[in-house]
Structure 1
Amino acid sequence: MSKTVFLIVFLSFVISITNADRRIVCYYGSWAAYRHGLGEFVTADIDPTLCTHIIYTFVGISQDGSVTILDSWLDLPNGRDGFEKFTSLRELSPETKLMIAIGGWNEGSQTFSEVAADPYVRAQFVQNVITFLKEYNFDGFDVDWEYPNQRGGQPADKENFVILLKELREEFNKHGYVLSAAVGAAEMSASQSYLISEMSQYPHFINLMTYDFHGSWESSAEINAPLYASSGEFGAETELNVNSAVKYWLEQGAPANKLVVGVPAYGRSFTLANPSYNTVGSPTIGPGLPGPYTQASGMLGYNEICEYVKQGWTVRRDLEQGVPYAFKGNQWVGYDDTISVEEKTKYAMSMGLGGIMMWSIDTDDFRGTCGEKYPLLNTINRVLKGYIPSPTSTTTKEPNSGATTAESSTTTPSSTTTPSSLTPVCTHEGYVRDPNDCSIFYYCQETNGKYLANKFYCPYDLVFDPTIDNCNYKYDVPDC
């Protein structure tokens, strides 16, 4: 990003920092409870104060319009009682909306297509959703149909999806429920699936899945979720980035304040054909090796990546695309870190969008193994709200993946605000680095003729770079 564009984005951030309407939408993959070791993530690990909306995933859909529970042992009282533990989070953060999503990649498209095409079954589905939300005490419902008119769907899905959302919203209005939709973001997919100007009328907000633009299904090492296109890309390749997707949805009539930009708390990984060729675009021979927690080829959670970086993986940044990548030997991953998440959040604000969504919070560094707990989610909060919410602490006993009982606790650090008389480092509004410690910086805000300083810490081994008003790697900051 050029310094001029960055300045525009930064000024927009300063102007809009008190806007309380921005959403921070947090997807929670409930199956993370089955992960081992430090990767195991249970409901007690969620800090609800860091999200305006949290979406539990997933439930399924049946051909008769029923809402189906996919893992009764995980979700219901006869097992781990996940639904109840999840909705009980409102005791810690009453303002946070606790929702549930239907669908996802594994659900596919065919059953959605059949239900949406039949007016009677569709009406039954709407009523079944209402009954489900009441029974399990959720605040809202996220429709994650991947994707209309694709993967077993039919052309009429585009119109039927609009009707389905309309009928859901009309019924939701009677009960005060929140309706959202998760959608394919890139033009090449969205143009096949959505009548954007029509479908956008009905959800309260729309979660753009602005990730998985690239992955190990390709034969070269590419970035999972670039912010901008690379100068080396041509044709349809130039659509595979956040900026192009957002502009397409806006051009097609989506209201800006309904669009929520997705950021991934994971990367897409590759095995390099030759370890000596390790830049973006280098040849690959398949997916990267599974990480210790997610155990999936071709992807690594941010909590896995940050540990690899601490262990010596080399990190580089693609300045054109606004994102980092890391490599060691023949293993390579393109991902998002606190720097790129901050830039994407500022981008969303500069475009007047409705907020930021994360898929998914269970692969952020939620334990703080590499430094701060929830570094990616905290970055979003700091940019959108101007602060990190006050800590919450929950200690609950919940069965782990074995037969014993484990105690889990969650705490979240907050920023420190002190008057300017105690922080003479503030001489103007904006960011400033601590003169004695490059890893500490402040956001100085003038109030009644005095400066208030919000104190922040760069995550593991990063230092504050005043040339970009952001944390950066030490080798890129000569005076540190």
Structure 2
Amino acid sequence: MDNFGLLLDEWRVAVDKEVNGKCQPTLLLSAATYYKPVIPWDVVHRYPVESIDKNLDWINAMCYDYHGPWTREDPTGTLAALFEPTGTLADLFDPTGHISTSGGLQSWIGAGIGRKKLVMGLPLYGRSWRLQNPTVNGLGAPAVGAGPGGEEGYMSYAQVNQFNGQVNARAVFDEATQSYYSVAGPYWITYDTVATMTRKMAYAMGLGIGGYFFWDTSNDQGCQFSRPGTH
């Protein structure tokens, strides 16, 4: 992360130098980042927030993939909760606290990044699980791996809607986290809807941050965009 900060310093000098005395705009510099400025994996990494704020025009905070069927033992959880789960769910999903979009954005602001340089990510896809017991199907339900969508249960928003309609899935809104999930027999899917995205956009506007982005538009309902490398 120290070297990343130095790299940003060098890039800013380079792009400013490039346009010196020329009638052309300066290149924009941005980065896609973790949803918060600290990555608490096996080794804790802290983003060089001071260098980011000084040198980048904005960052795209990836406010999604908070939970997924990464291993066969992972329980169901929210893909991109706006707020933290409460009670026993909080202990199950996040013993250290603050796995949520609101927590991530607030932590970036608290670390010193300018609000207008902070952009909130919105997922146009879902993650699926196969339940251990179809009758135990709420948030935090035991699972035995990924459901529809392959090894990591990846389903586009269009595929989620199609699946929900084909199998008459039961859609559930979780008020605490402001997130949706669907249940159909042994399958469980977490995703965002128009309603949850609208609430997230309102939250972002209330924070006064730079905006929001989608990952990615090719996953949207009725969208005809092709993926990179395809036609």
Give me the TM-score of the superposition, normalised by structure 1: 0.42
| Partner residue of 2:127 out of 263, 268, 290 | 268
SS in structure 2 of the partner of residue 353 of structure 1: coil
1:323 aligns with 2:179: yes
Equivalent-residue separation in structure 2 for 1:357 and 1:265 (angstroms): 10
Residues 356-405 of structure 1, C-alpha deviations (whole Å, 9 max, x = no match): 0111111111438xxxxx9xxxxxxxxxxxxxxxxxxxxxxxx976xxxx
Equivalent residues of 1:186, 1:240 under 8 A apart:
no
Inter-partner Cα distance in structure 1 for 2:162 and 2:146: 19
In the comparison of the two structures, how many residue pairs are matched?
Answer: 211
Q: Does 1:282 align with 2:149?
A: no
State yes or no: 1:209 paired with 2:209. no
Correspondence for 1:177 among 16, 27, 34: 27
Q: Give, in angstroms, the shift of residue 170 of structure 1.
A: 2.2
Q: Based on CA coordinates, which of the two structures has the bigger radius of gyration? A: 1
Residues 186 and 239 in structure 1, CA contact (< 8 A), matched pair in contact too: no
Q: Which residue pairs with 2:115 in the alignment?
A: 256
Secondary structure of the equivalent of 1:229? coil
Letter in 2 for 1:320: A
Residues in 1 aligned to 2:54 and 2:117: alpha-carbon distance in whole angstroms: 9
Q: Structure 2: 5+ residue runs without aligned partners?
A: 20-25
Structure 1 match to 2:23: none
User: What is the match of residue 200 of structure 1?
Assistant: 53
% identical equivalent positions: 28
Distance 2:186 2:143 in 1: 9
Q: CA deviation at 1:219?
A: 2.0
How far, CA to CA, are the matches of 1:351 and 1:400 in structure 2?
Answer: 38
Greater relative contact order structure (CA < 8 Å, 6+ sep):
2
Return the offset for 1:300: 0.9
Q: More displaced, 246-255 or 357-366?
A: 357-366
Does the CA-based 8 Å contact 1:183-1:206 persist in structure 2?
Answer: yes
Output one character per residue of 1:285-325: Cα deviation in whole Å (capped at 9) or x when no partner: 111122xxxx5542111010011122211100010000100
CA distance in 2, matches of 1:159, 1:201: 15
Instruction: Report the alpha carbon displacement of residue 216 of structure 1 after superposing the two structures with TM.
Output: 0.7
Contact 2:83 2:178 in 1 (8 A): yes
3-state SS in 2 of match to 1:192: strand
Match of 1:301 in 2: 156
State the distance in 2 between where 1:161 and 1:314 align.
Answer: 45
Distance 1:237 1:343 in 2: 25
* Cα deviation, residue 198, structure 1: 2.7
Q: Is the 8 A contact 2:37 2:46 kept in 1?
A: no
1:342 aligns with 2:202: no
**CA distance in 1 between partners of 2:215 and 2:145 (Å):** 24
Distance 2:186 2:96 in 1: 25
Match of 2:22 in 1: none
Which SS does the other structure have where 1:178 is aligned?
Answer: coil
Assess if the C-alpha contact under 8 Å between 1:186 and 1:241 holds in 2. Answer: no
Deviation of 1:210 after TM superposition, in Å, equals 0.9
Q: CA deviation at 1:188?
A: 4.8
How far apart, in 1, do the equivalents of 2:116 and 2:95 lie?
A: 27
What's 2:78 paired with? 223
Partner amino acid, structure 2, of 1:314: R
How high is the TM-score relative to the length of structure 2?
Answer: 0.84
Shift of 1:187: 5.4
Q: SS at 2:39's partner residue? A: helix
Moved over 4 A (4+): none
Task: Map residues 44-443 of structure 1 onto 2, 5 A cutoff.
Answer: 158-173=1-16, 174-175=18-19, 176-186=26-36, 188-189=38-39, 192-217=45-70, 219-232=74-87, 233-234=90-91, 236-290=95-149, 297-311=152-166, 312-367=168-223
Question: 1 CA distance for matches of 2:161 and 2:218?
Answer: 14
Contact conserved, 2:8 with 2:51, CA < 8 A, in 1?
no
State the distance in 2 between where 1:166 and 1:188 align.
Answer: 20
Deviation at 1:268, TM superposition (A): 1.5
Once the two structures are superposed, residues 384-437 of structure 1 have per-residue CA deviations (whole angstroms, 9 ceiling, x without a partner) of xxxxxxxxxxxxxxx976xxxxxxxxxxxxxxxxxxxxxxxxxxxxxxxxxxxx
Q: State the distance in 2 between where 1:163 and 1:313 align.
A: 50
Counterpart of 1:185, as a letter, is: Y
1:210 counterpart letter in structure 2: C
Gaps of 5+ in 1: 1-157, 369-373, 375-398, 402-480
Q: C-alpha separation between the residues in 2 aligned to 1:247 and 1:236?
A: 19
For residues 358 and 296 of structure 1, what CA distance do their matches in structure 2 show?
23
Amino acid at match of 2:47: Y
